[in-house]
Amino acid sequence: MRLRTTLAAATAVFALATALPASAQDSRLKAAVQQDYAANLAALFDDFHRHPELSGMEVRTAGIMAAQLSALGYDVTTGVGGTGVVAVLRNGEGPTVMIRADMDGLPLQEASGLANASTVHQVDSDGVEKPVMHACVT
């Protein structure tokens, strides 16, 4: 899980994409993203998919995200609204880019058959144990 490389690669991809003609941008950007995913992000994706947590209970997930973002030099605030993580990367004057992402799983049994399928059960806020999975389409 080398997100530092991911950030550097994303910066390089952005520079490359803005310097090339549109037709070259598409293919080179796609190749750079696929390479970075295979090298760095696939393992993190699989880990999160195998270990989902219900809404408001994303302690493990939030901890991993906060640690990864801190290691990249972001100013990280945790515990926002409960288990939320806010990270700011300062890069001088200019526009601010904001990204929001959900981290919670849903109380559903995963039946995908995938290698990274969740087998997690978690006790919800009502004290009932339920299966948990990430059900967003990727």
Q: How does pLDDT run across 37-72, given as a tens digit for each residue? A: 787 788 888 999 999 999 999 999 999 999 988 988
d(CA 4, CA 107): 33
Please name the helix (run of DSSP H) or strand (run of DSSP E) that holds residue 117, with its range, or none: none
Amino acid at 14: F
Contact 3, 44 (CB under 8 A): yes
What pLDDT, on the 0 to 100 scale, is given for residue 108?
Answer: 96
If phi > 0 it is left, if psi is from -120 to 50 it is alpha, else beta; for residue 113 that is left
pLDDT in tens, 18-28: 555 566 667 88
d(CA 44, CA 41): 5
